[in-house]
């Protein structure tokens, strides 16, 4: 437990609390990076009612998501080794880039799906789970890292 001061000030964190906090942050970062990687390996689109599946890594966009997931895992491991505000900020920037890229890809995937339904209905297109899993991993990474940057900045200024 932390020690509390008067006048509504934020509680002071002991070294043990800070260490367990960075361990939890690093674990959440590694898990979200793994979700981005798994999402890039899963099918993003299917044709002929699932007969043909196209995974994310067959194109440049999926490979970029894969690299982003690997960077997130590397950042999580780096947080375990040495926790610093600079690493948290870099992970927050990576999270924003991955999240915005994932949202853009979701919009483009939906537009392509609608186009295929309208112009080539015999292909029986379907949307696979891969991009949704990668997007969820990017969202988790953004929530975790940006929350830690926000609280780390507030703690440093207090």
| CA distances, 99 to each of 25, 39, 66, 68 (Å) | 18, 13, 13, 10
The secondary structure of 112-157 as a DSSP string is: HHHHHHHH-GGG--EE-SHHHHHHHHHHHHHHHHHHHHHHHHHHHH
Instruction: State the average pLDDT for the chain.
Output: 86
User: pTM of this prediction?
Assistant: 0.81
Task: Categorize the per-residue pLDDT at 151 as very low, low, confident or very high, splitting at 50, 70 and 90.
Answer: low
> What are the residue boundaries of the structural domains of the chain, listed by start?
23-148
Q: What is the pLDDT of residue 12?
A: 46
| Mean pLDDT of all residues in 100-127 | 95
- The end-to-end CA distance of the chain, in Å, is 18
Task: Categorize the per-residue pLDDT at 84 as very low, low, confident or very high, splitting at 50, 70 and 90.
Answer: confident
Task: Categorize the per-residue pLDDT at 60 as very low, low, confident or very high, splitting at 50, 70 and 90.
Answer: very high
The per-residue pLDDT for range 10-39, each reduced to its tens digit, is 444 444 445 667 888 999 999 999 999 999
């Amino acid at each position: 437990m932390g020690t509390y001061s008067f006048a509504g000030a934020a509680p002071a964190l002991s070294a043990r609390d800070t260490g367990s906090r960075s361990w939890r942050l690093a674990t959440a970062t590694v898990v979200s990076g793994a979700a981005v990687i798994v999402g890039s390996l899963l099918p993003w689109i299917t044709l002929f009612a699932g007969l043909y599946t196209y995974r994310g890594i067959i194109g440049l966009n999926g490979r970029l998501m894969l690299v982003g997931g690997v960077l997130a895992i590397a950042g999580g491991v780096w947080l375990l080794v040495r926790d610093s505000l600079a690493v948290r900020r870099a992970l927050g920037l990576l999270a924003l880039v991955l999240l915005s890229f994932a949202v853009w890809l979701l919009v483009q995937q939906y537009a392509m799906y609608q186009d295929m339904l309208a112009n080539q209905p015999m292909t029986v297109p379907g949307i696979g789970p891969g991009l949704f899993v990668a997007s969820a991993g990017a969202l988790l990474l953004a929530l975790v890292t940006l929350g830690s940057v926000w609280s780390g900045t507030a703690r440093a200024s207090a």
